[in-house]
Amino acid sequence: MPGTLKLEELNSQTIIFSKQANCSMQCRGINQEDVKYLLKGGSVNLGKSEVHAKPNPNYAVDGYTKNHHHLRIMIADCGDTSKIISTIDLASENDSCHCN
């Protein structure tokens, strides 16, 4: 399964968080441990991923945190680093976080 292998690869790399990711996480009341948990138990959503993006492909990972937040995290695969770009609350129809 390509999505499972990619998730394992992203999880094995150094994980860093963008300014936008930190903002959206704070707004949604989630922390870095929630994101790391999702990286271990989530699934790559290839339909929402941009695998041919330049300079780095972006992957959407969907799943649930320990506290049952239904999230999507967007991750840039930067070689030996997985950069968390943003978090999206999949349970909410209206995104009240305004992070840039």
Beta bridge partners of 96: none
**Taking CA 71 as the corner, what is the angle to CA 70 and CA 76, rounded to the nearest 5 degrees?**
160
**Mean pLDDT, to the nearest integer, of 22-42?**
90
d(CA 60, CA 50): 8
Is 1 a residue whose pLDDT tops 70?
no
CA nearest neighbour of 38 among 13, 10, 18: 10
**Mean pLDDT, to the nearest integer, of 47-70?**
93
Pick the CATH number of 2-89 from 3.30.70, 3.30.2310, 3.40.50, 1.10.8: 3.30.2310
pLDDT for position 91: 84
Which residue did the predictor score with more confidence, 87 or 2? 87
**Mean pLDDT, to the nearest integer, of 33-46?**
92
